[in-house]
């Protein structure tokens, strides 16, 4: 199979670009995500590691439904379908997880930003990256490095409510997204969170994304992420759209309740009833969100 033929198969599953990287060895140090440190040893059939680039369009900056996680779930199943198709054609292919930012930097692909995100033109940072080890297709050489805008740009630093991107890069201790791994969020995150599950504030500010068109969530996503639906604990439809890994332990219900209280999305009486029910939830994150919501109601009453 040629590189062009492979890229054509990948495109049929939504991938906008494919990079064919040499199977590498990596110094990982601490490795909590169990990334592959030695591709040739663990995947001896691999002649290349194919980096699949799944582009997506962002939603508007005030949209709570997360465009990235909808795309990430689609990319995951697109990758699985591609692997199955390759295997049916007799081409060895398996999912592999490598330190991708390091691999792309070494290959001269894209630009790393001080937000720690990597931009790949023409998609900017609005991409999902997947990697598979493939046999029979050789790697290619690339040199697509472009100048980083970060040296003269402060837009992400000015936009981030947590002050995470700075002159020396991303302060991991402040980054909202990195502090949202668990279902139960600190109150300062609840005060500033815009989208469900993650955070996209710096991406809206980044000039690498300035020319991207905006999209709208479909009716299925709108219904799945309905605030009342999630507060009632009916999160299965939303989880099916974004994946289960990031939405367990009542996370979506807790976030919906915090949004409703902070942004006055429900009538006071309805919100108070939701808080009473959430206070008895088996999930600590939902009970914590109920405490936060109750506090926001009290603050609002004092202000009025």
Average pLDDT over residues 261-275: 95
Per-residue pLDDT tens digits for 146-199? 888 898 999 999 999 999 998 888 999 999 999 998 999 999 999 999 999 999
pTM score of the predicted model? 0.93
- On the question of pLDDT at 31 being above 70, the answer is no
Per-residue pLDDT tens digits for 74-120? 999 999 999 999 999 999 999 999 999 889 999 999 998 999 999 99
Q: Which of 274, 123, 122, 254 is nearest to 180 (CA)?
A: 254
Per-residue pLDDT tens digits for 285-298? 999 999 999 999 88
Residue with tokens 């990195």, as numbered in its chain? 178
Structure tokens at 157: 């630093």
Average pLDDT over residues 218-224: 97
Q: What is the pLDDT of residue 58?
A: 96
Contacting residues for 197 by C-beta, under 8 A, at least 6 apart? 66, 69, 180, 242, 246, 247, 251, 252, 255
Q: What is the mean pLDDT of the chain?
A: 94
- On the question of pLDDT at 303 being above 90, the answer is no
CA distance 2 to 19: 13
- On the question of pLDDT at 304 being above 70, the answer is no
CA distance 38 to 44: 10
Give all strands (DSSP E) within 205-301, no chain letters.
none
The secondary structure of the chain in percent helix, strand, coil, rounded to multiples of 5, reads 45, 10, 45
Strand partners, 111: 119
- On the question of pLDDT at 44 being above 80, the answer is yes
Q: Which of 3, 60, 4, 21 is nearest to 213 (CA)?
A: 60
Strand partners, 19: 51
Residue with tokens 């007799």, as numbered in its chain? 90
Cα-to-chain-centroid distance, residue 279: 29
- How far from 205 is each of 102, 140, 156, 229, CA to CA, in Å? 24, 33, 5, 31
Q: What is the pLDDT of residue 32?
A: 64
């Amino acid at each position: 199979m040629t590189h062009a033929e492979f890229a054509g198969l990948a495109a049929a599953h939504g991938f906008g670009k494919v990079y064919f990287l040499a199977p590498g060895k990596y110094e990982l140090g601490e490795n909590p995500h169990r990334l592959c440190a030695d591709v040739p040893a663990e995947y001896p059939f691999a002649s290349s590691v194919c980096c699949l680039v799944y582009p997506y369009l962002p939603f508007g900056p005030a949209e709570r439904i997360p465009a990235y996680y909808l795309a990430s779930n689609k990319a995951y199943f697109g990758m699985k379908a591609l692997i199955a198709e390759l295997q049916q054609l007799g081409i060895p292919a398996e999912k592999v997880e490598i330190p991708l930012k390091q691999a792309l930097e070494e290959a001269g692909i894209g630009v790393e930003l001080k937000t720690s995100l990597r931009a790949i033109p023409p998609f900017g940072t609005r991409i999902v990256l997947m990697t598979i080890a493939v046999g029979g297709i050789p790697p290619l050489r690339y040199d697509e490095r472009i100048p980083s805008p970060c040296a003269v740009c402060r837009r992400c630093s000015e936009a981030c409510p947590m002050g995470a991107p700075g002159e020396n890069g991303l302060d991991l201790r402040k980054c909202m997204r990195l502090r949202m791994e668990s279902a139960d969020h600190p109150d300062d995150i609840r005060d500033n969170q815009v989208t469900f599950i993650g955070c996209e504030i710096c991406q809206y500010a980044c000039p690498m994304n300035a020319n991207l068109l905006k999209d709208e969530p479909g009716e299925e996503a709108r219904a799945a992420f309905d605030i009342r639906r999630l507060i009632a604990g009916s999160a299965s439809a939303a989880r099916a759209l974004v994946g289960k890994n990031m939405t367990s332990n009542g996370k979506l219900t807790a976030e919906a309740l915090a949004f409703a209280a902070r942004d006055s999305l429900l009538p006071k009486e309805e919100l108070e009833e939701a808080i009473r029910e959430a206070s008895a939830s088996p999930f600590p994150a939902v009970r914590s969100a109920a405490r936060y919501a109750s506090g926001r109601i009290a603050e609002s009453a004092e202000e009025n």
